């Protein structure tokens, strides 16, 4: 069995469960995880994981920054060589430019998955950080040397073409979700008034708009309440907004995958009304939409980027225009008040995800892409 090096500059943020899930679903290839440093809040790492810096988070961040300027790390490169990987699969375009050094060390094909911000954000946004500037300086070389760019949605493929990546190098591939982990739990009692938000508390995820929509439901749905799972720089601002509007919101912070699934199983709906951020950053795919629907939880969201590719409007969920709080409130109210419509959408959602986003089936297709570049 051939080894594939799964590369991420920072291993492995708790919000990126989809990367190890995809890697462990491989059947014809054996994954070996590699990165420059450990994430501050990391998922458990396999013992075979290869890290350039295994020290504290601060030391790792400094070592990573130095590596981008002076990619001299003989010990790290020796460990990488011992993996005997036949190809490198890097996640995110910025990580792809760092993986170029490993490609030179191994002399194997490089594939890069484009997830969202890495291909939709403006150059001005990348210029704000040293890592972003490193990416911009090496972007043309990456376009040149990578064998394939795996786009997580049609929307991301469109953005990649606009950025200048050669069309023949682009492959659209939905990562998929593990249907065994995300399935309806009949032991959980649904809260008929519970709206769930799961995502980073950043502009793109649009948490502000579900809070504002909730404030419009106080007369028609006085028992409606919102649970927010996730962390990010906007938390205090969002807490202040909820307090000002006098709506019922619980901020739970980051939660592990098991608790996220539990809340998805209890919620009446998932509402993550994503928007295009001022930087251009847009949703790449939105795994959380597939996860919730797989559990029979309908989605209220927006006509944004790739969301219509995973949420079928009027069939498995309802979509409003970006930043349209009144439209969101109308859709939420319909799901809270119309049990037959809610139940029908939930059942259709399960079938939709099973038929189109099964992790095992999707990973089999990914392995075909791996084989095509060897």
pLDDT (tens digit, 9 = 90+) per residue, 326-370?
999 999 999 999 999 999 999 999 999 999 999 999 999 999 999
pLDDT tens-digit readout, 36-54: 999 988 888 888 899 999 8
Which is it for strands 249-253 and 225-229: parallel, antiparallel or unpaired? parallel
Query: C-alpha angle with apex 40: 156 to 200, nearest 5 degrees?
Result: 45
pLDDT tens-digit readout, 122-150: 999 999 999 999 999 999 999 999 999 99
CATH assignment, 194-356: 3.40.50.2000
Structure-derived torsion over alpha carbons of residues 15, 17, 20, 24, reported in degrees to the nearest 10: 180
CA distance 14 to 20: 11
CA distance 364 to 173: 11
Which is it for strands 37-38 and 317-320: parallel, antiparallel or unpaired? unpaired
Cβ partners under 8 Å of residue 284, min gap 6: 114, 115, 116, 117, 120, 152, 153, 155, 156, 305, 306
Sign of the alpha-carbon dihedral angle for 252, 256, 257, 258: negative
Residue 14: predicted pLDDT: 85
Residue 56: predicted pLDDT: 82
Residue whose C-alpha is closest to residue 267's, from 210, 319, 308, 212 = 210
User: Where exactly does CATH 3.40.50.2000 map onto the chain?
Assistant: 2-176+358-373, 194-356
> With 90 as the cut, is the pLDDT of residue 58 above it?
no
Residue 210: predicted pLDDT: 98
- Topology given in CATH for the domain delimited by 2-176+358-373: Rossmann fold (3.40.50)
> With 90 as the cut, is the pLDDT of residue 282 above it?
yes
Q: CA of 262: how far to CAs of 184, 278, 292, 298, in Å?
A: 10, 33, 11, 15
12: preceding bond cis by omega (within 30 degrees): yes
Highest mean pLDDT: which range of 45-54, 56-65, 66-75, 286-295: 286-295
Q: State what percent of residues in the chain have pLDDT above 90.
A: 89
Instruction: Judge whether 283 and 204 are in contact, CB under 8 Å.
Output: yes
Instruction: Judge whether 105 and 77 are in contact, CB under 8 Å.
Output: yes
Residue whose C-alpha is closest to residue 17's, from 296, 203, 288, 354 = 288
> With 90 as the cut, is the pLDDT of residue 166 above it?
yes
> With 90 as the cut, is the pLDDT of residue 9 above it?
yes
What is the mean pLDDT of the segment spanning 100-112? 95
Cβ partners under 8 Å of residue 30, min gap 6: 1, 2, 3, 4
Query: Binning pLDDT at 50, 70 and 90, where does residue 72 land?
Result: confident
């Amino acid at each position: 069995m051939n080894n594939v090096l799964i590369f991420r500059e920072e291993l492995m943020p708790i919000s990126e469960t989809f990367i190890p899930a995809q890697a462990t679903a491989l059947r014809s290839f054996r994954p070996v995880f590699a990165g420059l440093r450990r994430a501050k809040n990391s998922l458990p790492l396999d013992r075979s994981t290869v890290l350039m810096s295994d020290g504290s988070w601060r030391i790792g961040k400094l070592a990573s920054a130095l590596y981008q300027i002076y990619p001299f790390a003989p010990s790290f490169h020796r460990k990488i060589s011992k993996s005997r990987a036949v190809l490198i699969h890097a996640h995110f375009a910025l990580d792809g430019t760092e993986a170029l050094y490993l490609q030179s060390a191994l002399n194997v094909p490089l594939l890069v998955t484009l997830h969202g911000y890495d291909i939709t954000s403006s150059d001005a946004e990348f210029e704000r950080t040293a890592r972003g500037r490193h990416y911009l300086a090496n972007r043309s070389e990456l376009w040149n040397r990578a064998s394939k760019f795996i786009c997580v949605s049609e929307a991301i493929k469109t953005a990649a073409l606009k950025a200048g990546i050669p069309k023949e190098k682009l492959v659209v591939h939905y990562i998929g979700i593990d249907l065994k982990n995300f399935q309806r739990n009949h032991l959980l009692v649904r809260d008929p008034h519970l709206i769930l938000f799961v995502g980073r508390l950043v502009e793109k995820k649009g948490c502000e708009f579900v809070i504002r929509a909730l404030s419009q439901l106080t007369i028609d749905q006085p028992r409606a309440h919102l649970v927010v799972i996730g962390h990010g720089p906007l938390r205090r601002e969002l807490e202040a907004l909820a307090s000002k509007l006098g709506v019922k919101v619980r901020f739970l912070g980051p939660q592990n995958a098991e608790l996220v699934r539990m809340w998805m199983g209890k919620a009446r709906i998932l509402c993550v009304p994503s928007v295009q951020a001022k930087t251009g950053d847009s949703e790449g795919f939105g795994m959380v939409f597939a996860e919730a629907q797989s559990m029979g939880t309908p989605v209220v969201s927006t006509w944004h980027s790739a969301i219509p590719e995973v949420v079928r409007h009027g069939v498995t969920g309802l979509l409003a225009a970006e930043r349209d709080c009144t439209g969101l409130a109308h859709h939420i109210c319909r799901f809270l008040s119309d049990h037959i419509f809610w139940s029908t959408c939930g059942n259709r959602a399960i079938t939709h995800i099973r038929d189109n986003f099964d992790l095992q089936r999707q990973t089999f297709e990914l392995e075909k892409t791996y084989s095509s570049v060897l």
